[in-house]
Amino acid sequence: MARRLAEAKSLAVAARYRDALIIGCDQVAVGNGEVLGKPGTREKRDAPAARPIGKRGGVLHGGVRAQHLGRDEPAAAWSPAASLSAGSTTETIDRYLAREQPYDWRGSAKAEGLGIALIAKMEGEDPSALVGLPLIALSICCKSKG
């Protein structure tokens, strides 16, 4: 899903430019085996199905696609960004939600700012994907192009 969304974003931008480097990326959050959306509000975030990241852990996946239009074929990479495990208390999560209001982030998972306090352990190939742009995956795309 992350790769497909990254490709769709890059193709939408590429339609408007003839000779440009186009980079598209996206992230997908998974918790309890379900893809988590952007809750939009605190009420929707507090629904039981929307709570896995921060309390029980979850996984963020990143996809990136790069192409220099008019010069080469696109390159894409997939990054299982981070497996997050957290031992956060309800109080810590509530404080994070009140201050950061991360309701436009998938699963309300935002590592920037106070969100980093919810992460007890991170495993993955590309920790930069945790904040949105998987730089290692992007580097792989660019290297594959020479």
What are the catalytic residues? 26
Cβ(58)–Cβ(29) below 8 Å:
yes
Structure tokens at 16: 């408007």
C-alpha 143/C-alpha 128 separation (Å) is 18
Cβ(134)–Cβ(62) below 8 Å:
yes
Is the CA virtual torsion 8, 40, 101, 115 positive or negative? Answer: negative
- 3-state SS assignment for residue 138: helix
Structure tokens at 86: 């957290």
